[in-house]
A and B are shown apart, each in its own frame.
Chain A
């Protein structure tokens, strides 16, 4: 688990069942492409967040695979349909296996 704290914003905290909830998330990460070289001409090894998932109350609603072509400090925005109350958990997986996890919650009425 990494100490990086992602910024997560839901457009609403409470939703009627069936409503769409928009999620915006931003996380600090260099997203090193593996294409660049340092001053001595050595390739800087790739180090990116390659996997992103979002679960709501334990059920996966959205996921993405990032390639090196995703910008540094990756931003992601998507929606989900509010069906049940519960934690909204966002997880980014680094090439080195560590995970960055952020959490918010949605209340469905």
Chain B
């Protein structure tokens, strides 16, 4: 199946050529990447501040099928002040959503690690929402050598 994907990817890149600026291999029938919509929905329209969130990803991912990712948020994690949710989106995958983590004061620390799929070189954004509603973010670009088909 990976072969099929790569052929499709190559094909659409070939057809789209230079005319297509972003989301190069999203097929016409599919919706465009919804990363910005997801962010707006998550923050309630507020602009998150670039602070307190640490997003650990490799600079270069040789295999886009499994890219290790760690998100950590600076927070005291007490009942009075804690990080409740973290949304991770990718702007170059067929769909924007990657994962959402839900923390609680008993998490002790707002930190989680998983492995994600990346279709191509793109920016990953992590947005943290605190219990008081304030939002913080971090962005990191990952260069992908072999795309993880079908993000």
Give me the interface of A with B, judged by CB distance under 8 Å.
20, 33-39, 44, 56, 59-72, 74-81, 83
Interface size class of B (residues with CB under 8 A): 35 or more
Q: A35-B94, A36-B150 are in contact. Are A70 and B115 (CB under 8 A)?
A: yes
Give B102-141 interface residues, CB cut-off 8 Å to A: 102-109, 111-118
- Which residues of chain A are within 8 angstroms of B97 by Cβ–Cβ distance? 67, 69
Q: List 19 A-B contacts (CB under 8 A).
A: A35-B94, A36-B4, A36-B149, A36-B150, A56-B106, A62-B103, A64-B100, A64-B114, A65-B99, A66-B99, A68-B117, A69-B90, A69-B99, A69-B151, A70-B116, A71-B65, A71-B116, A77-B113, A83-B106
8 Å CB contact of A20 from B101, B103, B108, B113: B108
Residue B5 is within 8 A (CB to CB) of chain A in the complex: yes
Q: Are B101 and A64 in contact (CB under 8 A)?
A: yes
- Which residues of chain B are within 8 angstroms of A39 by Cβ–Cβ distance? 4
Q: Is the interface of B mostly helix, strand, loop or mixed?
A: mixed
Q: Are B116 and A69 in contact (CB under 8 A)?
A: yes
Bound CA span A60–B8, Å: 42
In the A-B complex, the 8 residue pairs with the smallest Cβ-Cβ separation, listed nearest first, are A81-B108, A35-B150, A67-B97, A33-B150, A77-B113, A63-B102, A71-B115, A69-B98
Q: Are A79 and B106 in contact (CB under 8 A)?
A: no
Q: Output the residue of A36, A59, A71 with the most chain B CB within 10 A.
A: A71
Bound CA span A63–B50, Å: 24
Q: A35-B150, A37-B4, A71-B65 are in contact. Are A61 and B117 (CB under 8 A)?
A: no
Bound CA span A67–B104, Å: 21
